[in-house]
Chain A
Amino acid sequence: MAATPADNSLRKPARRVKRKPLRKRFALAAYVAMIPMALTVVLAYLGTMLWTLRTSFTNSRTFPSTSFAGVSQYVRLFNNDRWMLSLQNIVIYGVLFIVACLVIGLLLAIFIDQKVVAEGALRTIFLYPYAMSFVATGLAWQWILNPELGIQEVLHRIGFPNAHFDWIMDQDRVVYTLVIATVWQASGLVMALLLAGLRGIDDEIWKAARVDGIPRWRVYTNIVIPMLGASLSTAFILLFVMVVKLYDAVVAMTQGGPGTASEVPAKFIMDYLFGRANLGLASAASIVLLVTVLAILAPVFYVRSRALRLRGSR
């Protein structure tokens, strides 16, 4: 998002002389070309957001109504057991998913960066799940974790007759199965991003560290990982967006079950919008989701852009 202000300011004086008359003559086409973007921003992004915000303060059920109902939908929302369970699930899921993806992705990237043979094949293997849809992933893992015929049965056969791996049917553990499936899918993405970051680090650092006799792992923990800040924050943002979006994988893998044990906010909203026809409540829930996203991402973006600016001015 940070444009290149430096370049523009350098070019400006020269351009202004030549450009003025031309700009007037051709500007119209440029404005016409911006119409799709303007419509999208105004109608699809801002308009829908305002509409949903307004609806969240009404008593709308199947059809939107305009009768003002104050914050009653929000009160109802936070008294709704299913919503509270969704929130609890998404927090547990989100923390585990993001931490696991970052740790596994970082380890894979560092280990691949040790000049190993068949690097290309390994990278391909770690990233291919990311090319699949969450639906396909969810369905594949639903089968693998099937308590009767899946991995649990294999464990029983190879000499662990009492092994329990029926988490997908277990109300207390079903969220972890979502973590397993989606970490499998997304940690390759983190690996790809961090590997690019590692390759961008100056070799001089390694030479200097070797001269000073610093062990490799200390170079990683104290120097290299802090230098990966930009890549790590990119990875964090992408993973966070996936957490908020988490819907497809749940629908495919557990349908929110057993019972309501694996409900998540995105699914709660979709169910109340289309299945249970409670527009007001669903709108209030999606506004809560939106505010949470902004509250978490805004500081991340702020720190990022400040770091970029500092680096630019140096």
Chain B
Amino acid sequence: MNSPRPPLKRGSRLTPARLGVYAFLLTSALFFLLPLYVMVITSVKPMAEIRLGNILALPAHLTLDAWSVAWQSACTGLNCNGIRVGFWNSVRIVVPSTILSILVGAVNGYALSFWKPRGASLLFAILLMGAFIPVQVMVYPLVRVLASVHLFSSLPGIVLIHIIFGMPVMTLLFRNYYVALPHELFQAARVDGGGFWRIFLQLMVPMSTPIIVVAVIMQVTGIWNDFILGLVFAGTQNLPMTVQLNNIINTTTGERLYNVNMAATILTSMVPLAIYFVSGRWFVRGIASGAVKG
């Protein structure tokens, strides 16, 4: 792969200081691109070439075999159906989790900004603090609660878990967005006789497109990249792609197929990376708004 190097424009005020700036930035850019380069280059080499031990060399024989093995026949334990199993599991987890967690966050944010039910701000404060509780404190009791209602190790169970763990940030995101909207808009709708749900559906949701986009980006990448929750709560039938990737690479015995491993790693990173490269500034906006916790 050709790494997209930032072009050095000559001519404009190239003082030693500016040369230093560019030297630093270029070196850093190369360091940041190096792992991606190694991953891609490894994934298109045959094992014979990899065994020669030149991890940085371009492939002499370019082959996509490793990619098809990774996708459809790599083994975890006795199952050799490739990483695609995990891919579809992740899709099944991410889609409902994203939709539902955004819906809950939007309703929470809306109620907190405009209706302010008694006690809601206290709940919200505790919820935000909850975002800093290490998952390890919560994991085991949650397993027992879910098991008692027969949701442990099931798709609805892991979706519910993602809604719970996504709630602080989603609620904060929507609350901050709705608080900044002109209050007169809401009051006018109230005077016209709009009720809680009607104002939400007909007035707030249509105005929320930008923040919904940010929320979708945050939740899809966050839930796709989740490992620990999927590992504990999803159950063997629904293991997400990250967990399956780790199983393929770290629990195989015998010779390690590094090209297959790297192809599987890239495949697993493909969804969040695609979102990142397409959404660019929105992604950064999500980071910034998620960071306003506190």
Task: Give the interface of A toward B (CB within 8 A).
Answer: 1, 3-4, 7, 11, 15, 18-19, 22, 26-27, 29-31, 33-34, 36-38, 40-41, 43-49, 51-52, 55, 64, 104, 107-108, 111-112, 114, 116-118, 120-122, 124-137, 139-144, 146, 148-151, 153-154, 157, 184, 188-189, 192-193, 196, 234-235, 237-238, 241, 244-245, 247-248, 251-252, 255, 265-266, 269-270, 273-274, 279, 282-283, 285-287, 289-290, 293-294, 297, 301, 304-305
Contacts and interface: CB of A to CB of B under 8 A. Distances in A.
B232 to A, nearest CB: 7
Interface stretch (B52-60, B68-76, B202-210): B52-60
B150 interface: no
A140 B265 contact: yes
B80 interface: no
Contact of B196 (A29, A36, A244, A289): A29
B272 interface: yes
A129 B276 CA distance: 10
B272 A286 contact: no
Nearest to B121: A3
Interface in B114-129: 115, 117, 120-121, 123-129
B33 interface: yes
Nearest to A51: B141
Interface string B238-262: 0000110110011000000010011
Given A132-B225, A154-B55, A125 B33 contact: yes
B117 A139 contact: no
A44 B183 CA distance: 33
Contact of A125 (B29, B51, B123, B265): B29
A140 B39 CA distance: 7
Given A45-B133, A245-B135, A304-B294, A30 B141 contact: no
B24 to A, nearest CB: 6
A40 B170 CA distance: 13
A132 to B, nearest CB: 5
B108 A193 contact: no
A169 to B, nearest CB: 15
Contacts of B135: 245
Nearest to B108: A37
